[in-house]
Amino acid sequence: MNSKISRISSVGFFNIIAGASYVLFSFLIAKNLAPSNTGIVFTVLSIIIISGLFAKQGYESIVLKDFSNIFETKNYTSMKTILKKITKEVFIIGAVISSLLLLFSESLSILYFESTNYRWLINLISFLIFPFVFLELISRAMIAANKILLAISLNKILLYFLPCLFMYFYIDFKTINVIAFYSIALLLSFLVILAFFRRVIINLRNSSNDDAKINFTEDKLSFFITNLNFSFGQWGIILVAGIFLSTYEIGIFSVILRIIYVPAIVLLSINQFFARRFSNSFFEANFSRLRKEFYYATIACICFSIPIFSVFFLFSKEILLYFGDEYAEHIGILNLMIFAQIINIFSGPCGQLLLMCGGEKKAFLTSSLNLLITIPLVFILSFYFGLYGVAAAYTFGVLLANLLNLIFVMKLINKYV
């Protein structure tokens, strides 16, 4: 029992460190660069992440779900089969996306950076897609193999903390240096986690038991749309709003997004720990345990996030002033988006549970509906109302997605228990 508690505490601690590294990386950029340059950096990151999302095609969730069962049953043959399939498909789609970015690099540079001088950035992104995608996929496989702390350390902490060290000690703080530091950290994280994953596969092969039959998840479209919906709130919204907003406005909005991400660290930490447990409980048809785990996860989300939200409401202006007077002018946007994050946290890990427990079609329906409404809404409101329009569209999207997910989770749990 004590070892179990210790393990839970370790995972939670590492997730918090990982989230803190990401937030620190974002805040260092905002503190040391002008809002317009901050907007450039976050636009670059958004293109990498959204392009990578299309290349992954939803396989990151399939890896987490199916590999949990593969490692549980020690089925090396199944592992080998699905790895070949995923690697081939992801590489082909990644190559197509990379080629399109190279082909339209000049147009994208003008669209988002209002100049052809940043064409080299788009070209760089086209090559960074591959290490980013495979880093994400291998991290999910490591989590499925119960190497959670190692996956978090390499995919999150190293990826964001290493650039923070570079930026802290490097005096010449420029946009190009920030992007260069991130690129180096991305490549290094990928190479290191690849080496560790190779050892995991070797260990699985040596203790293989191929008697157990594993049914692979084929419906990757549901996972893709669900993951796109999740990533849209942090990254995709920047690309849609960036069509009409300047890099200055994108910089302001991006920093506010990172501020409200702080309480989301709690939800993501709990999600990452309970994802494997949700999958195993459903796989073993232990629905009573599944319900308890969901309730415990939701209560944990609420309890750990309340102090953070209290600080936000009491010191919202002071937080924005830390980054500069330009940010303090938009306190209304921050307060509106804090409200959206409260709804997100208090709903618990309902989206994660649906994905891990056979609710892919429900998650697909929720995500599809949310994207179909939110993307045009961001497009229209950013054109007419600027930053405030984007914040309103973001809040509406969060409310709609969490309401639908919560309804479906309650139906799923009550169906079996």
For residue range 299-339, list pLDDT tens digits in order. Answer: 888 888 888 888 888 888 899 999 988 998 899 999 999 98
pLDDT of residue 281: 79
CA nearest to 227, candidates 397, 371, 341: 371
Does 5 score more than 70 pLDDT?
Answer: no
pLDDT of residue 394: 92
pLDDT of residue 239: 93
pLDDT of residue 190: 92
* Most confident stretch, 60-69, 154-163, 397-406: 397-406
CB atoms inside a 10 Å sphere around CB 175: 19
Average pLDDT on 96-125 reads 92
pLDDT of residue 310: 86
**H/E segment holding residue 352:** helix 350-356
- In this predicted model, which residue has the larger pLDDT, 362 or 379? 379
Average pLDDT on 163-190 reads 85
Does 6 score more than 60 pLDDT?
Answer: no
pLDDT class of 8 with cuts at 50, 70, 90: very low
Q: What is the dihedral of CA 268, 202, 6, 136, to 10 degrees?
A: -10
pLDDT of residue 212: 60
For residue range 11-52, list pLDDT tens digits in order. Answer: 555 667 777 788 888 888 998 889 999 999 999 999 999 999
- In this predicted model, which residue has the larger pLDDT, 102 or 78? 102
Cα gap 286→417, rounded to integer Å: 9
Contact (CB, 8 A) for 346 and 302: yes
CA angle 250, 256, 258 (to 5 degrees): 100
Does 2 score more than 50 pLDDT?
Answer: no
Does 56 score more than 80 pLDDT?
Answer: yes
pLDDT of residue 188: 92
pLDDT class of 279 with cuts at 50, 70, 90: confident
pLDDT of residue 214: 63
Does 237 score more than 70 pLDDT?
Answer: yes
Rg of the chain's alpha carbons, rounded to an integer? 21
CB atoms inside a 10 Å sphere around CB 212: 13
pLDDT of residue 376: 94
- In this predicted model, which residue has the larger pLDDT, 62 or 241? 241
| 36-40, 197-201, 276-280: the lowest-pLDDT one | 276-280
Cα gap 299→29, rounded to integer Å: 34
Cα gap 155→313, rounded to integer Å: 32
Does 268 score more than 50 pLDDT?
Answer: yes
Please tell me what DSSP assigns to residue 116. G
Contact (CB, 8 A) for 193 and 151: yes
Give percent of the chain above pLDDT 70. 91
Count Cα neighbours of 408 within 13 Å in the Cβ-side half-sphere: 24
> At 412, which amino acid appears?
L
Q: Tokens representing 10?
A: 């370790």
- In this predicted model, which residue has the larger pLDDT, 223 or 95? 95
| 143-152, 337-346, 402-411: the lowest-pLDDT one | 143-152
Does 9 score more than 50 pLDDT?
Answer: no
pLDDT of residue 14: 62
Q: What is the mean pLDDT of the chain?
A: 83
